[in-house]
Amino acid sequence: MKRAALLASVGLLFGVGVMLSRPQETPFPHARHQGIFPTCTACHEGIEAGEPEQSVSVEPTLCGGCHDGTNLPAVAWEGRAEQPAGNLKTVHPGHPELPCGACHQTPGTGGEMEVQAAAAEACMACHAPGTEDHQAAGVPCAQCHMTLSEAPAMTAATIAAFSAPPDHGSADFAFQHGAAALDDVARCSVCHARESCTRCHANAAAVAPIMALAADGRVAEMVTGREGSWPIPPSHQASDWQMTHSALAETSPQSCSTCHAAETCSACHLDTGDRVTDGFPEAHGASARAVPASGEVPGHGPTFAVAHGEAAVAATPKCSACHAETFCIDCHDGAGRPVFHPVNFVQRHPAEAWAAPMECAECHSREVFCRNCHESQGAGQDERTAGGYHDADPNWFQSHGQAARQNLETCVSCHQQDSCLRCHSAKEGFRINPHGPDFDPEHVREKSEMSCGICHFGFQLDSP
Amino acid sequence: MMTVHRRALALLLLAAPLSPLSLAAQGYQAEVRVRGDVLELRGLVRDSVPESSVPGDGLQRRLANGTIVTCLTDDFCRWYRAGDVQTVTPTYGDIRFAAWLGVEGLSVHSQMRTRFLSDEVWPKSSQEFDLITGYARYERAGWRATAGRLLRASSLGYRNFDGGSVLWKGLDVLRLEAWGGWSLYPGTNAPRSGKLLSENDVFAPDKRALIYGFEAGVDVQRKFFLSGLYQREIRTDRLALYSERIAADARLMLPQVVIDGSLAYDLAYKEVNSARLAAAAPLPKGFHLTLEGRHYTPFFELWTIWGAFTPVGFKEGRGLLSWTLPGSTLTLEVGGGYRDYEKANAGAELAPMKTDGWRLLAGGRWRGRDWFVDGGYRSETGFGAARYGGDLTVGRTFGPDIRLALHGTVTQTFGEFRVGEQVASGGGLDFSWNVGTFSVSGSGGLYRMTYDKRPDSPDWTQARAHLSLGYRFGTMAAQPRTSLRGIGGY
C-alpha cells in the first residue's frame, strides 16, 4: 500500500514535471498566421529529413520578411530556445508518412494552424500497443525520449520527479534489473545516469552497463548523501548463510561485490589481510558505499566472548577466517585490555574471582599474576598465620577449611604453599590432614610421588 | 648481564620485520603497539599493637576507633590498614609479524612483548622480554606442520610450548593432531623452573616440563563436531608428572539451535575440572536465548599441594535472554545464574558459609548512526565476596574511524571475608582513532572509593589513564586493530 502511494505520488510529480519542462519561451502565434502559410514546410523547411534541432524551429529573421516595420509592424519574437527543456525527442525524420497535425494539432481544434508542441499522449496513440501505460515493459523509451545526457537543459527537479515504470516496483526488481540493463541499457539511460548505479553498486567500475551510462552532475547532486538500497537476497536469509557464504565469495566474488565492498568483509574478517577481500572493490565516497557489516558477528551469540571454547575447537565458525592468532593472545595473555572486563576491573574483581563465571586461570597464572599483585598490595605477606586479614569471621581459623575447599583458587592467589603447610604438613606443625574423603593417595603417588613428598617428606618450617 | 642480553634480543627481534630478508618476502604484515597505563592503587599495610594495650579478650577485638584486630600470636594484635596511594605505570611494547616466504604454504609468525617503565608492584614486571609465539608453519591442503614457540588453546586451557605439532586433515570428516615439546607455565610464557615462578612460590619446580598430546576430531558436514584429546606434562628428569588430563568438545549446529558441550578431566586427581552443556537459540520476534549448565572444580598441577587439599566444585545453571527490536540496533538482555557447591567436608564449621551463589544481570545497548548507548546492572552474590553495580556508556562515532565515549560506574563490593564494603563510583572518557594504518586509543577517569566499617581505610580518589599507539605495516597491512567497540580492561 505504501509502495503504491509512493508510486502514485511520484507519478503525479512526474506529470507536473513534464508540464513544467515544456518550452517556456513565447510560442510562435501559429493561429494568427492561419491561411498565410499553406504548408508547414514553407517555414519548417527540411524538417522531415533534416537534423531535428536545426529545422524544428524558425529563425526569427524570417519574420522580418513581412514584419519589416513598413508593411507590417516589426515583431520581437525571439524564436525557440536552443535546447528543449524536456526529454522528448523530435522524431520528424522517422515519421515522413504522418501529417503534421497527427502529433501537433491542438486537441479540440481543427484549423490548419491550430497547433502546439507535440505531447507524449500523441506518441502513445501509436507507441503503446496493448497498454495504456506508456512505461510498460516492452515499450522502447528511447524511441521517444532522449537520454539524460542528451537533455542537459532538464533540471534535477524534473529528473527527480520521473515516475518509476511499473516493473521497477516488483518485489524482485532489485535482483532482476541487472539482466534488464544488460539487454537494454538505453532504456535505463532515459532516467538514469552512472551515479544512479554507483550509489548501490560497489563494483560499478567493473560493470559494463553501468559504465555505458554517462556521468551526470544533476544525478550526482540528487544522490549525494543518500544511502544505497540493498534488499536482502533470498540466499542470505538461509539460516546457515553466515557459515556458508564463503563458498560463493571465493568462487564468485563479483556476485557479492554488487553490494559488498572489501570493507564489508573486513568488518568481520578482521585480521586476514587481503586473502578474504581478494576480488572485492574498495568502498569509496558517499555515493559508492557498500552494504555495511550488520554488526552481528556471524555465529557469535551474546555470550560468545566468554564461552567460545567449543566453537574454537570445532572451528565453526572458522576462527582463522576472521582472526589472526594475535586476536586470541590479546585476551588470553592477560596483558591486554579485554573488553569483557569492565572498566576498573582491579577494584571490582574479587566477586568474579570467588564466583568463577569464567576460569581466571585460563589467562592468568595464579602464582605469578594474581599472587604477585596481591603481595605487592600487601594482601599476601609472610607470616600469614598471624591473622588479621579475614576479619569478618571471628572464628576464621576454625572455619576457613570450607572456604578453601569451595574456592581454593582464591586462597592460592595470595597464599604460598608454605603458608598452609605450617598447619597441614604431615611432618611439622599441627599436622592437620588436608585430604578430603574422596582423595586417593595411591593414585596420586603413581602420578607424582614428589607431590606427596612436599608434605610427607621434605617440608621444613623455617620459622617458629 | 642476562638483562642486557634480553634487551639486545628484544631490539633485534623488534627490528626483524624491517630487515631486507623480510622485506623481500612474498608478503608480510606487522604491527607495533605501545601501550601504557597510569594507575593509582592503594594497597594494604599490616599493622599491630601489643595485645596488652587492646581491651577485651578473645581472638578478635576492637580498637578504640572501631578497627577490628586479631590477637592470635606473639602477644600482638594485628590488622590491615590502608597504605599510601601508589602510582604504577605498567607499559608494554608489542610487536607482531607474519611473513610468507615465497614458498607456497610456508610462513613465519611471531608475537613479542617487552615491558619497560614497569613498576615492581605490577605482575610480571621482572619479565622484560616475553616471546609469546614464534614459529614457522608449513601448510598444505591435507596437513600442517608447525615448529617453534607455539600457542595451543583447547578445553585444557591456553598453552604455549617450545616444540612442534603436526596436523593431518586429509579427510574432511577427520582431523588428527599431535604435539610435543618443552612446556611453559600457563600465563607466563616462561618455564616452570624459571625465576618468574620461583619468585612467587617457594616450592616452584626445579625442572622444566615436557609436554605431549594428541587430539582427534570428527566433523560431519560442519553441522556436528566432536573431538577428544589427551595431554601430559612431565618433568624433564621423568621423576613425576606435572599434569595428565583429557578433554572432549562437541558442537551440534541444528537449524535453530547450537548446542555446545565440553569436558576437562584430571587423570591424576580423578576429578572433572569442567563440564559444560549449553544451548543457544534464536527465538521469534527478535529474542535469543542461551541456557547453560556447568560443573567446575579448579585444576591444580601436581607440583603443588593444592590438589591434595581436595577442592570441591560447584554446579551452575545460567541463562541469558536477549531481545533485539526487529529492524533496529536496540538490544535488551536479562540473565542470571545459580550455583551450588558440593559439600566441603572440611571438619569444624563454626560459622557455616554460604554454599550457593546468585548472579543477576540486566542491560541494554543501542547504536544509532553515530550515537550509541550501552549500560547494565550486574550483581554477584556468593560466599567470600559480592558485588553489585552498574555501568553506563554514552558515546559517539565520527565516521568509521573515530570513537568517543563517556562512561560512568557505581559498584559496591564486599570482599574477601573482610568487614565492610567498598563503593567505587566515577567515570571517565575513552576514545579511539584510526588514521590510516595508525591507531591510537586512550582513556582516563576518576573513581571515588568510599569505605564503610573500616576506620583505617579513608576514602580516596583514584586516577587512571591509558594510552595505546599502534602502527601496522607490510605488504598486507589491513585496517588498524584499535577496536571501536570500547575499552574494558583492568
Looking at residue A261, its pLDDT comes to: 76
pLDDT in the model for residue A198: 84
The pLDDT score that the predictor gives to residue A81 is 60
What pLDDT does A337 receive?
A: 62
R_g (Cα) of chain B, nearest Å: 26
Q: For B70, which of A325, A361, A391 is closest by C-beta distance?
A: A391
Which residues from B are below 8 Å from A261, CB to CB? none
Closest CB from B302, B353, B419 relative to A447: B302
pLDDT of residue A279: 65
* Contacts with B133 from chain A: Cβ below 8 Å: 325, 329
In chain B, residues with a C-beta closer than 8 Å to the C-beta of A412 are: 300, 304, 306
Task: Judge whether A67 and A32 are in contact, CB under 8 Å.
Answer: no
Question: Which of B351, B332, B366, B480 minimizes the C-alpha distance to B417?
Answer: B351
In B, which residues are within 8 Å of A416 by CB distance?
200-203
Among B62, B346, B178, which Cα is nearest to A435's? B346
Q: Where is mean pLDDT largest: A45-54, A271-280, B169-178? A: B169-178
pLDDT at residue A101, as a whole number: 83
pLDDT in tens, chain B (490 residues): 344 455 555 554 444 444 444 443 478 888 899 989 999 999 999 899 999 999 888 888 999 999 999 988 778 899 999 999 999 998 989 998 888 888 888 999 999 999 887 778 888 888 889 899 999 999 898 999 999 999 888 888 888 899 999 999 888 899 999 999 999 998 889 999 999 899 888 899 999 999 999 999 999 887 899 999 999 999 999 999 999 999 999 999 887 888 999 999 999 999 999 999 999 988 888 898 999 999 999 999 999 999 999 999 999 999 999 998 887 788 999 999 999 999 998 876 667 788 999 999 999 999 888 899 999 999 999 988 999 999 999 999 998 789 999 999 999 999 788 899 999 999 999 999 988 889 999 999 999 999 999 999 999 999 999 999 999 888 764 444 434 443 344 5
- Rg (Cα) of chain A, in Å, rounded? 42
Q: Would you call B291 exposed, middle or buried from its count of C-beta atoms within 10 A (0-12, 13-18, 19+)? A: middle
What phi and psi values does residue B47 have, to the nearest 5 degrees?
-130, 165
Q: Beta-strand (E) ranges in B382-459?
A: 386-398, 402-414, 421-435, 438-452
* Residue A50 confidence (pLDDT): 62
Query: Looking at beta carbons, which residues of chain B come within 8 Å of A428?
Result: none
- For B240-277, what is each residue's pLDDT tens digit? 999 999 999 999 988 788 899 999 999 999 999 999 99
- Bridge-based pairing state of the strands B371-381 and B174-183: unpaired
Task: With CB atoms and an 8 Å threshold, state whether B308 touches A435.
Answer: yes
Grid cell for residue B280: 543457544
pLDDT band of residue A7 (cuts 50, 70, 90) is very low
Q: How far apart are CA B464 and CA B39, in angstroms?
A: 4
Q: Tell me: pLDDT of A224 over 90.
A: no
B 310-369 residues inside an 8 A Cβ radius of A: 310-312, 314, 318, 320, 322, 329, 333, 337, 339, 341, 344-353, 355, 357, 359, 367
- Is the confidence at residue A320, as pLDDT, over 90? no
- Residue B207 CA to residue B234 CA, distance in Å, equals 9
- What's the pLDDT at B352? 76
Query: Residue A17's pLDDT is what?
Result: 41
The confidence band for A87, taking pLDDT boundaries of 50, 70 and 90, is confident
Which residue is listed with cell 510560442?
Answer: A27
Distance CA B177, CA B214 (A): 5
Contact of A54 with chain B, judged by CB distance below 8 Å, is answered with no
Q: What global pTM score does this model have?
A: 0.73
8 Å CB contact of B385 and A350:
yes
pLDDT tens-place string over residues A347-389: 889 898 998 888 888 888 999 889 988 988 888 766 556 678 8
What are the tens digits of pLDDT across the range A149-203?
Answer: 888 888 888 888 888 888 888 878 888 888 888 888 888 888 899 988 888 888 8
B152, B153, B148, B177: which is closest to B164 by C-alpha?
A: B148
Cα angle A259-A261-A263, degrees, rounded to a multiple of 5:
135
pLDDT exceeds 90 at position A11: no
What is the mean predicted confidence (pLDDT) over A277-302? 55
Q: What is the pLDDT of residue B18?
A: 44
Residue B66 distance to chain A (closest CA, Å): 13
Whether A461 has its CB under 8 Å from any CB of chain B: the answer is no
Per-residue HEC secondary structure of B23-44 comes to HCCCEEEEEEEEEEEEEEEEEE
Nearest-CA distance from A270 to chain B in Å? 8
**Around B64, how many Cα atoms within 13 Å sit in the side-chain half-sphere?**
2
- For testing contact with chain B, the best of A406, A445, A456, A457 (most B CBs within 10 A): A406
Q: Does A422 touch chain B (CB under 8 A)?
A: no
Residue listed under C-alpha cell 574511524 = B401
Instruction: Work out the percent of chain A whose per-residue pLDDT is above 90.
Output: 8
DSSP 3-state of B380: strand
Q: How many CA atoms lie less than 13 Å away from B209 in the CB half-sphere?
A: 28
- pLDDT the model gives residue A343: 80
pLDDT for B105 equals 86
Question: Residue B392 has which C-alpha cell?
Answer: 553506563
Predicted confidence at residue A177, as pLDDT, reads 87
Of A381, A399, A436, the CB nearest to B46: A381
Count of A–B CB contacts within 8 Å? 448
More confident residue, B325 or A300: B325
pLDDT class for A410, splitting at 50, 70, 90? very high
**What distance in Å separates residue B332's CA from the closest CA in chain A?**
11
Helix (H, G, I), strand (E, B) or coil at A15: helix
Query: What is the 8-class DSSP label of residue B346?
Result: -
In chain A, residues 320-379 whose CB comes closer than 8 Å to chain B: 324-326, 328-329, 332-348, 350-357, 359, 361-365, 367-373, 375-379
Separation in Å, CA of B31 to nearest CA in chain A: 10
Q: Is A297 exposed, middle or buried (CB count within 10 Å of its CB: 0-12, 13-18, 19+)?
A: middle
Distance (Å, rounded) from C-alpha B86 to C-alpha B90? 12
pLDDT (0 to 100) of residue A69: 82
List Cα–Cα distances, A312 to A309, B123, B152, in angstroms. Answer: 5, 28, 11
